[in-house]
Amino acid sequence: MPALDRYFETMLDTGASDLHLSVGYPPMLRLKGDLVPHGEQVIDEARMRKLLDELLDEPTRERFHRDRDLDFAYSLSSGGEVRARFRCNYLYKYTGPGAVFRTIPSKILTAEELGLPEQVLNLARRRAGLVLVTGPTGSGKSTTLAAMISWINHNRASHILTIEDPVEFVHQPVKSLITHREVGTDVPSFADAIRSAGRENADVILVGELRGPETMRLALQLASYGVLIFATVHTNSAAATVDRFINVFPAGQQPAIRGMLGESLAGIVAQQLLKRADGSGRVAAHEIMIGTNAVSTCIRENRTSMIDSLIQGGTREGMQGMDATLDKLVREGAISAQDALDKALDKTSFAKQAHVRSQLDMVIE
């Protein structure tokens, strides 16, 4: 048994979401959002190399030490059955090799179990268009997408194609045909996989991450052809996501991309993960933008600065702002005012609210 398996078992036993291994530090576990040491013994470079190399075959080991970066998924088995899967990132830094591991839940949680708003589930009910789930690393984007894909799998007969690096959640077919493709193993690149997806008669395509203008353009084209596309982007708000998407392209191409995006964008779900006030776990806060005619016009006419106002006034269409969601969670006592303020988009206005200011004053005192 690889020595790392013991750390993975500890992650499962403690409920840790991540494990960080760095030369000169003890193993670090992320528990309920906080990074805490596991024991006091630091890992030296010789032990680190032995730990990391043990999971790799010879060609992959050579590739990691040559390219100095590697992403893959690992399955922890017990009694011949897979107990859990982990997303693994190997890297080099100035102290030597290191790694970060993230637990991939063996059970795909439903939208109801995650507490996803109905508006998010409505995006999974769409038959075509581009749905972007955004947020910083560790905000639960993959878990939310897995719940949306699972809902489709359980509710309609479709061909669902996932393109990931590496494959994280493995969906078992229920009503849908499921095809998982792993970049680097089953297909050379995201662009190659998306390019060939149009010939694979897919109804729903999950792209782990849109990387660069080519994959973005291909995803837009498929969405305009009547395919439902899900993808992630590392941004903190809907407006920032639209700007990031368009600004990836050269200036001369941006008007055409704005037109395609305005036509194909079904919605954006921006997600943040915060600690519960009672310390019992974490809760997700969502900003939801729906691709209405008004939003489409703003995108086409390069008036993305108006998107925040459209979200605030779009409750009837199912939209909700991040700061309004954070405010609701504070009022319910689910999260602290300080944690909400840290994630708020307009921190000045958020801090001026009486119930927020009173909590912050209590902390200062």
Same domain, 154 and 86: no
Among 58, 74, 104, residue at a domain's last position = 104
Q: Quick check: 171 pLDDT over 60?
A: yes
The torsion angle over the Cα atoms of residues 36, 38, 44 and 45, rounded to 10 degrees, is -70
333 Cβ partners below 8 Å, 6+ apart?
277
d(CA 1, CA 53): 13
pLDDT digits 0-9 by tens, 218-231: 999 999 999 999 99
11 Cβ partners below 8 Å, 6+ apart?
19, 29, 86, 101, 103
Q: Which residue has the higher pLDDT, 60 or 78?
A: 60
First to last CA, the chain: 52
- For residue 143, what pLDDT band results from cuts at 50, 70 and 90? very high
- State residue 34's pLDDT score: 87
330 domain residue, yes or no: no
pLDDT digits 0-9 by tens, 201-221: 999 999 988 888 999 999 999
d(CA 181, CA 195): 13
The DSSP string of 274-324 is EE-TTSS-EEEEEEEEE--HHHHHHHHTT-GGGHHHHHHT-GGGT-B-HHH
The DSSP string of 210-246 is --HHHHHHHHHHHHHTT-EEEEEE--SSHHHHHHHHH
- For residue 81, what pLDDT band results from cuts at 50, 70 and 90? confident
By percentage, how much of the chain surpasses pLDDT 70?
A: 99
Q: Are 114 and 151 in contact (CB under 8 A)?
A: no
d(CA 234, CA 210): 9
- State residue 88's pLDDT score: 95
- State residue 363's pLDDT score: 55
Same domain, 284 and 250: yes
d(CA 51, CA 74): 14
- State residue 365's pLDDT score: 47
16-34: b or e for each residue (b if 16 or more CB lie within 10 Å)? bbbbbbbbeebbbbbeeee
Which ranges of 158-206 does DSSP label H, i.e. alpha helix?
190-197
Q: Quick check: 58 pLDDT over 70?
A: yes
Same domain, 134 and 272: yes
| Mean pLDDT across 185-199 | 89
Among 55, 86, 104, residue at a domain's last position = 104
- For residue 364, what pLDDT band results from cuts at 50, 70 and 90? low
Number of structural domains found in the chain: 2
Same domain, 158 and 81: no
How many other C-beta atoms are found inside a 10 Å radius of the C-beta of residue 333? Answer: 10
327 domain residue, yes or no: no
- For residue 43, what pLDDT band results from cuts at 50, 70 and 90? very high
* Beta bridge partner(s), residue 284: 273
| Mean pLDDT across 21-46 | 93
Q: What CATH number does residue 81 fall under?
A: 3.30.450.90
46 Cβ partners below 8 Å, 6+ apart?
none
DSSP-based three-state secondary structure for 358: helix
CA distances from 21 to 40, 305, 338, 343 (A): 13, 41, 30, 27
Q: Quick check: 347 pLDDT over 60?
A: yes
Same domain, 161 and 267: yes
Report the DSSP pairing between strands 69-78 and 81-93: antiparallel
- State residue 255's pLDDT score: 95
The residue range of the domain holding 21 is 4-104
Same domain, 74 and 149: no
Query: How many CA atoms, within 13 angstroms, populate the side-chain half-sphere of residue 194?
Result: 27
Same domain, 190 and 309: yes
H-helix or E-strand containing 21? strand 18-21
Among 104, 120, 143, residue at a domain's last position = 104
Same domain, 166 and 22: no
Q: How confident is the prediction for the chain on average, in pLDDT?
A: 92
Same domain, 116 and 223: yes
- State residue 323's pLDDT score: 95
86 domain residue, yes or no: yes
How many other C-beta atoms are found inside a 10 Å radius of the C-beta of residue 212? Answer: 12
- For residue 197, what pLDDT band results from cuts at 50, 70 and 90? confident
| Mean pLDDT across 62-86 | 88
